[in-house]
Structure 1
Amino acid sequence: MLELLGISWLEAGAVALATIGMYLALVVLVRVLGQRMLSGMSSYDLAAVIAFGGIIARAALGESPRLGGGIVAIVTLVLLQALSGVIRRSTFGARLVVNRPVLLMAGPRVLEKNMGRCHVSHPELNSRLRLAGVSHPDQVGAVVFEPSGALSVIRSGQSIDEGVFDGVIGAEELGRPGQADRSGSI
């Protein structure tokens, strides 16, 4: 019975290394594929996430999972999350792991290149516009694909603080070079 609970120091090290490897592989995949991978999930996306979790767990815990191995894997993941939070707070680290927001609509105009870059379909965009109460493209001031994978809809005619679009890829499409004009509105 005790064999099912405990693991050796060597096995604990192997579990920690495998967990770190799988974590880094997933971070790289998310970075390469973009934040779209994490946005609103369909049932197919949910199935993929469950499969990812199973693959990661199997790779981290090995052939015969034990309670000790599970604890080592969880502690390793928590420490990696804490470390990634520290890394994201640095300028260099933020550039490495945080995706920048991307402008998808400038007023009523859909920016097709940015839609493709973010892997956002027109039905997904239209769904988000409906959720925001937009019934006509002329009611759109901007739509931004956020680092979290969410779509932010800003209605036309709203006064906007000058820093809101700083760092947004494609902000120049709003008629300003990455910054709001000095009046504070777009």
Structure 2
Amino acid sequence: MWHDLVAVQIPIVEKVLRTIAVYALILVLFRLAGKRGLAGLNTFDMVVVFLLSNVVQNAIIGNDNSLLGGAIGAVTLVAVNSAVTRWLSRDPRAARILEGTATTVVKDGRLVPGALHDLALRPSELEHAVRIQNGDDLGQVARARLEPDGQLLVTLKKTDQSATRGDVEDLRRRLEEIERLLTAIAADRRPPR
């Protein structure tokens, strides 16, 4: 029994190479699927992820059911992902190639023609992102774009943005100045005694 747990049944180098190859394949598949696949996992996306993990399992582990073989595959997967992540953080060109670039979907309150279709986004998903980011409708949006990581970032028009602490402080100062001026005017209009 103990032997089956620790005895790797295929060469370690083969296991490492299998893991790297499957990682690269999945990376390419997700890149080809586009940003929409990362924007928000719906029920269908979750089914694909679960099935995908089951489909590639044997490609990674081969005919090896040992605990040590699974651990080697897991360590390889985490190490390769960490290396790729660090590489992308240092190399903007590689990040642009592997992750892509942001796609503008709304500009000056209007949908960019064809953008939703190209990204396979539904208008309801876009409207939801606008509401989450304090907007009421697309007319309030200065710019909205789908980032390479699948996040939908919305920038509201200046007139539709929520007030900041600085805005409130500026308004308080202006009201105090108006109050001071009104007090001065009232004092000047008082009849002499």
Question: The TM-score by the shorter chain falls in which range?
Answer: 0.7 to 0.9
The alignment partner of 1:105 has SS state of: strand
Distance change in 2, residues 1:10/1:58 (3 Å):
closer
Q: Does 1:100 align with 2:94?
A: no
Q: Distance in 1 between matches of 2:151 and 2:93?
A: 24
The alignment partner of 1:112 has SS state of: coil
Look up the match of 2:82.
82
How do 1:1-150 residues align onto structure 2 when only pairs under 5 Å count? 1-8=1-8, 10-88=10-88, 89-150=90-151
Q: Which whole-Å deviations, capped at 9, do the CAs of 1:58-115 have from their partners, x for residues lacking one?
A: 3211244211111111111111112202321213322321221111000211013222
Distance change in 2, residues 1:3/1:112 (3 Å):
farther
RMSD: 2.1
Look up the match of 1:162.
none
Distance change in 2, residues 1:37/1:136 (3 Å):
closer
Q: Distance in 1 between matches of 2:61 and 2:55?
A: 10
Q: Distance in 2 between matches of 1:38 and 1:69?
A: 30
TM-score, normalising length from structure 1? Answer: 0.77
- Kindly indicate whether the alpha-carbon contact (under 8 Å) linking 1:37 and 1:149 is maintained by their aligned counterparts in 2: yes
Q: What residue identity is the alignment partner of 2:156?
A: R
Q: Distance in 1 between matches of 2:128 and 2:154?
A: 11
- Kindly indicate whether the alpha-carbon contact (under 8 Å) linking 2:34 and 2:119 is maintained by their aligned counterparts in 1: yes
- Count of equivalent residues: 159
Structure exhibiting the larger radius of gyration computed from Cα positions? 2
The structural deviation recorded for 1:39 is 1.9
- Kindly indicate whether the alpha-carbon contact (under 8 Å) linking 1:140 and 1:155 is maintained by their aligned counterparts in 2: yes
Q: What residue identity is the alignment partner of 1:148?
A: D
The structural deviation recorded for 1:33 is 1.7
- Kindly indicate whether the alpha-carbon contact (under 8 Å) linking 1:19 and 1:56 is maintained by their aligned counterparts in 2: no
Higher helix share: 2
Distance change in 2, residues 1:17/1:7 (3 Å):
farther
Look up the match of 2:181.
none
Q: Which whole-Å deviations, capped at 9, do the CAs of 1:127-164 have from their partners, x for residues lacking one?
A: 21222232232211111101110111111116xxxxxx
TM-score, normalising length from structure 2? Answer: 0.74
